[in-house]
Every structure is written in structure tokens, then in C-alpha cells.
Chain A
């Protein structure tokens, strides 16, 4: 059970979250308490129980594989933090 800071940092890295050193102990404590809460499920016998991912066990519909949306690049990029020439700008990845 990852209730030590190193384990929390490992999960944070997977989640792409940065945890300040000053907050690490507090985050670890609350994370551990949440895991303790959910650990009570261990006591329940679920042998042979089929996992339920959808409340009605429904199958999601498929639609015909055809274009339904028109190009709205300008409208969609209005919400972007940084764009140029129709592209989303990110920091340089390869020097």
C-alpha cells in the first residue's frame, strides 16, 4: 500500500502531477487514508461475479463510418493557449 512519499511520487508521475515537497507529507497522509477506506472491499466475496462497467450492461451503439463534422479549426483553436499557422504550439521537444 503506497503510503510512503516515494510511492505517492511514483503515482503522481504517472498522473502527470507535480507535488511540492512542502505538501508531500500531507498528500501522502490523505492518499493513504483514502486507500484505507476503499480497502474494505477486500472483505467482500466476489468470486465468480462479473465486473460491471455500465449500469445497464448496455452495448454502445456504433454509427456509420462517415464524416459528420465540418472543419472548425479556427473556432476550436480560439480556446488554445498558444497557436501559430493553424498549429498548437508546445515547447521544443528535440533540441
Chain B
């Protein structure tokens, strides 16, 4: 593969043996570039970013970060009209940035007190504040400012062959291990209906109440959501410059309309943004990555979405390549939280060959806790990850669980014994077999079920007839199959508990409880959000602490020597 060959050194004369070893280290396969601030190839310290300013006249913002209203682009207009609290803007903007930064980390200042200030700030002012914070301070701020008290985690379940049985089995295992949300996507878009169905079924087998999504083009994703085949949507992308937003074929208004469309069907959603997207798409308009990301965050706030996926996401190789990039990434998660949005905080895209770097990158989210520490831990081997690879995959499960135990930190996952996993995978495959039969889709064989139970990757499954599956997928759309049909299929085949789980998830659409900030559904189907689980961190001994029964759960690993009988392991 192109990425694994070491670079030739080409130096004349004798080389240090140590240098040879260092040259061969995985970290030297990563891509690093020099900053180019004029083009926006800079993390967060750029002389080309605007100075903060605001002017209010007649109840409207007429100047924003040095630009007057008649020169606003559509991002400025949207932010000025919808995101910033006009009544408090001038007063909040007058507070010195250092003071606001101190409020963020001071345990004696409550989250609500901070929000009262941040609601009146412009993008450049927010940048000014976080630029004063080092990564430890950013983490401290995150601990207080995340919206939901209890941290959670999100996983990916995909297949390099878009094999629905794999997606179902891996979804079941992922749900069992603790992911509160699961996401899928396709190599071949036309496979979407079958894969989305598989994700939903598998998730409800693993742990009833897990929420599922299928990342697609906007209108198609909304359609699948409307049908109840998926439970929420996330990859509704926004961008920090007008030109790049338009290249993405949307505007803040179309995206706001789309956000309301989801809510009108009772479906949870969040936007997605991330540092580096604008420069990667060729037009950062000379601004730093974090400045543009803060514009995105405020645009999301103005649209009235409950939350945001950010932390560079698929562009992580870009901030990852410049100095201070991962500090900027930690800062963007903090900014989302400090303007009271749910934050699904990245850690979802491969960005380094170095295991040390991959782990370090996630610490600013894992240690303080965020609403979703990963917005896509790969619950399948990375070779099967159709998001082009996540920062973590199935091979890292035991390390992740160990780090939770090492630091007494709840990263949303837990160790599960093999027999439980096998049972869940097997059941998910059988449940999907039943659903496919009920829907007259190309059948799933018992060989495929056996393979799914013990498989690691898509290579471990028999090949399916892709063209027949694609025809079946089209018929799912043509026949207007909905989540209710899945419930009927599961129930009639005897999977009563799975059917009931899915019905309970669908029923939440009627209540709208999952529309509130940071909402998830617990294992006993209670909606848990920033309203009934608000983050009340106020210093040592307060806020969410990993203790009690949950801590006992997270003490378990694959091999722990028993202290009552050191010749055995704790079961």
C-alpha cells in the first residue's frame, strides 16, 4: 500500500543507526505541512483573522467583527440575525476575553452563568477567548460546559462490501459494548435501504434504545428518516465560508429548513462541521481553521439545532498536519459546548499511523467527557470502515476499556464477555434473516448467520449477490417500506423483544423527547437529555463521577487476576 513504504533517506555518507529507527517509526508516515496563513492553512493563530467587534442599532446587529451589515456575507447575516443575543451583545463583548476564559475554567462559576455571557459573543470574540487557553484549560472548560451530565459514545458499523449481515452483527456487538448511537454509510449508495435496516435491527438486538443513522446525501437521508428506518441524522454539513457552503449545495437557510423538517417528523438531528473543511475545499478566504469553525458553530446555534458533530471530522488530516492543530480541535469541541450545543466530538477519522498520536488526540475529549466522546468509533475493523477509517477500531476495544479503568474515566464503553457477544451477533443475523424474508428481499442463509456470529471482517462472510440486493434495496424505496414494517417482520418471526425495542424507539417520535439538547435513550427507554440530566459540575466532588455500579462494570477487563485466588482470573 502506498502509505506503508518508508521514505528513502537518500543521504550521502554514513547514517545514524538511531535515525534509521526513527525514520521507520509510524509517526513519520503521517503528513505534516508548513502553515500558509494567507490561504487559511493555519490552526488558530492567524494575523488575518478579524478583530472582535459588534455594534447594535435599533435592535439589530449592524456591525460584526469589523464588517458592516451592507458588507455581510450570508454567514455574517445569519449569525447576526439568529445566533447572537442582541440584547446582551454589547455588554458581553465588552467583558475582557481573559475574564471570560477564567469563567470557563473557574469551578465557582456555573455553566448557566457562562452561557449568559457566551450567548452575546461574536465569532472573533469567541476565538479571542479560547486563544488564551492551553489544552489543559480547554479540557477543564469542557468538563463544565458539556450539555449532558453523563458522557456517552457513538460507533460506526459499516462493511467494505456493504454486507447487511455484517452491519447488523457488528451493530449488535457495538450496542452491547455501550455505544448509545450507531452510524452507517455505504460504499455503493444504492445499498442504503438494506444497510440502514440492518443497522436498526442489529442495534435493537444489542441494546434496545440505541439510536441509529445512515450518512447519505441530504434529501435521501431525510427520506430514510421519515420512514423510520433510521432514528436520527447527523451528517448535515455546514461550512464556515459562503463559497464553500455554496459548493456544498446549501445555505444556512436551506439547512435551517432541513433541521426543522427533521423535527417536524419527530426525528433527532444535529449538524456537522469541523476545522479544515474550508481550506480543504479550496477556499478559506484567508481565515484560520478555528475562526471558520466558530462561524459554523454559531450558524448552527442560530438555526436552532440541538447539537453539532465537530472536532474536524473528515478533515482531521488538515489540522493534524499543522502546528497546534489538535489544540484547535479540542477548542472547537469546547466552543460548541460553551454555546450550549450538544457536542459529538470527533475521534472518528483516522489521522495518524502512530498509536501514541491516535490516543493523545482523544484525551481532550475522553478525560473531561463530552456528550459523545467519539462521533464514530469504528465498531468494525478499519478495513471495513466506509468512512475511510476511524481513529479507533475494533482492535482498540480492550485498550480503550483499559484506559477507562486506568484513569477512572467513563468513555461510554465496557468490556463484554465473548459468549454474550456471540449470542448477540447470532441473534442479530437471525433477526435480519427474518426481516429480509418478511420483506421479500434476497434471503440470508444459515451459512451467513454462522459466519456473522464468529466473523471479524467482511472477508469472513460469504459473498452476496450484490445486484440482487441492489434491486431489493430499490424495491424497499419503491414499496415505501417503513420502520413499522420492520416491527411487524420481527414480531411475526418471534423476535418479540427486538420488535418491542424498535417500536419503543419509533414511539419516541410522537413524544419529541429526543429532540431536546443531547438526548439519548437509556437501556430502560428513558429519554436522557440536558434537561433532565444537566451538567452540574462545580468543582472537585461534583458533576458526573465514575463510581458505584458503573465503576464496578468498568473495572472488568479481559484478563484480571483474582486477588482471592491469584491462580485464577476474575470471571
Asked if A pairs with B, the answer is: no
> Could you tell me which A residues sit within 8 Å of B by CB distance?
none
> Could you tell me which B residues sit within 8 Å of A by CB distance?
none
